Amino acid sequence: MKQHKKNRGLIVALSCFSLATVSAIKPLHSENLKELIAPLLKSNNLVKSAEAGLKSAKEGAKAARGGLFPTATFTSHYGYEKQNKASGTDNSNLIPRKADVSVNQLVWDFGATNATIKAAKLAAKGAKFGLISAKQAIILGAITSYLNVNASAKALNYARESESNIKRQTELENSLVKKGAGLSSDVLQAKATLAGAMARRVGAELALAMARNAYRKTFQTSDPADLSAIEKPKFPSDSIPGTVEEAIEIALRKNPGIRAANMGAAAASQGVKIARASSFFPKFDITAAAGWKDNDGGAMGHQIDQSVKLNMAFPFNLGFTAVNTIRAAKYGVSAVQYQVKEARDATENLVRDTWANMNMTKQNYKFLSNQATISAEFLMLARKEKKAGNKTLLEILGGETALINAKSDAVGAESAVLTMGYTLLGAMGILELSQIQ
């Protein structure tokens, strides 16, 4: 028992020393995640698309205000005109010239123009939340890709190390058999285990290749040449609330997807006002006009016309389609409102699932880290005992397999903990570049 505790203490000490050494010796050109993501928030195609959409919506909001301002119309013509008039009137053969200018100003349309302006402003706000959502998606995708490369690289290193150890053990057993001191069955067992280790290494190589491809796509650059230069971000514990209910409350208030959906519902409500004002009420406007014409309309000479009028227009379809227009607008509002409710339910479910996954992966990481430590301790003792004849080759090979699996699982769990933490911030709608430390 004393020897067991002594060996365990030695392993822990060596592990601490290794961690300290790795932390102290940082690459000269380390891959800092925050610095990698910052340019993506300007160059990524999804962000550019969202920015263009926002600019378009803002210009649309400005254009909608044009309904409040007067509209000037200019017309003119110059040409040739010949008229064969009725009997008793001289025919005309003239070169007419004419120029008209009119200014029309809306007086009142029962709120249709104001509702149009409000709807355009709400659309612009929705586009703004769309841009926020796009940036948060880019940040989360970059974090996930970055951590996957790191975890895959470590898993491959563990697989190569295990393969190398099993290969040495196989060569050793094969040498003993040739000398008549070993068992052929042990050699076969070692070769079978080696084949399994090689298969795991190939799988780890594929996983790293896929992670690197995702890294290149995400960061729009070549994958990191020096995988040891990757600096893992810290778990964002300062930004995560204490309870899942609090996280849900924040998500329902700040998630940009929900907020954009709310803007869409509000804009649809303005559409009902527009439909009602346009279908059931007249429009009043003032028109001021002035015209100058010469030899126009078969009349010789110069003439000037001036007028100021108050106009009323009330187009009404006698098929009473105005009722259908209102109903269609109201049904449109209901459809959007149901979409908002669905978005809220989906967001709440996502927060709950992510919260559960985050806590589960935290516990899982602790268990797997402990398993890796125990597996390393067992393998160290088993190798010593095999030299003394107290352990079989099968136990050694089993220990090697258990260790590589435990190490790989622990690395994957650590990456999952970090990913779930930032995924939760994304679901809550509060993920920002400044939270990456």
What does the CA dihedral 17, 21, 24, 26 come to, rounded to 10 degrees? -150
In a domain, 23, yes or no: no
CATH code where residue 289 lies: 1.20.1600.10
In a domain, 9, yes or no: no
In a domain, 376, yes or no: yes
Percent of the chain past pLDDT 70, that is, above it, reads: 85
**Parent domain of 389:** 29-83+91-435
Measured between alpha carbons, how far is 427 from 420 in angstroms, rounded to an integer? 10
In a domain, 21, yes or no: no
| pLDDT for 373 | 87
In a domain, 367, yes or no: yes
pLDDT at 22 over 50: no
Of 3 and 210, more confident: 210
- Residue 102 has phi, psi (to 5 degrees) of -135, 145
In a domain, 117, yes or no: yes
In a domain, 183, yes or no: yes
Look at 82-91, 338-347, 407-416 and tell me which has the smallest mean pLDDT. Answer: 82-91
Going 197 to 202 to 205 to 207, the CA torsion angle's sign is negative
| pLDDT for 88 | 66
| pLDDT for 40 | 92
Measured between alpha carbons, how far is 243 from 265 in angstroms, rounded to an integer? 30
Partners of 71 in beta bridges: 104
DSSP per-residue string spanning 315-383: ---TT-HHHHHHHHHHHHHHHHHHHHHHHHHHHHHHHHHHHHHHHHHHHHHHHHHHHHHHHHHHHHHHH
In a domain, 100, yes or no: yes
pLDDT at 195 over 80: yes
| pLDDT (tens digit per residue) in 42-75 | 999 999 999 999 999 999 999 999 999 999 999 9
Give the chain's radius of gyration (CA, Å). Answer: 38
Report which of 241, 218, 214 is spatially closest to residue 427, judged by C-alpha positions. 241
pLDDT (average), residues 302-316: 92
**Counted domains in the chain:** 1
pLDDT at 222 over 80: no
pLDDT at 11 over 60: no
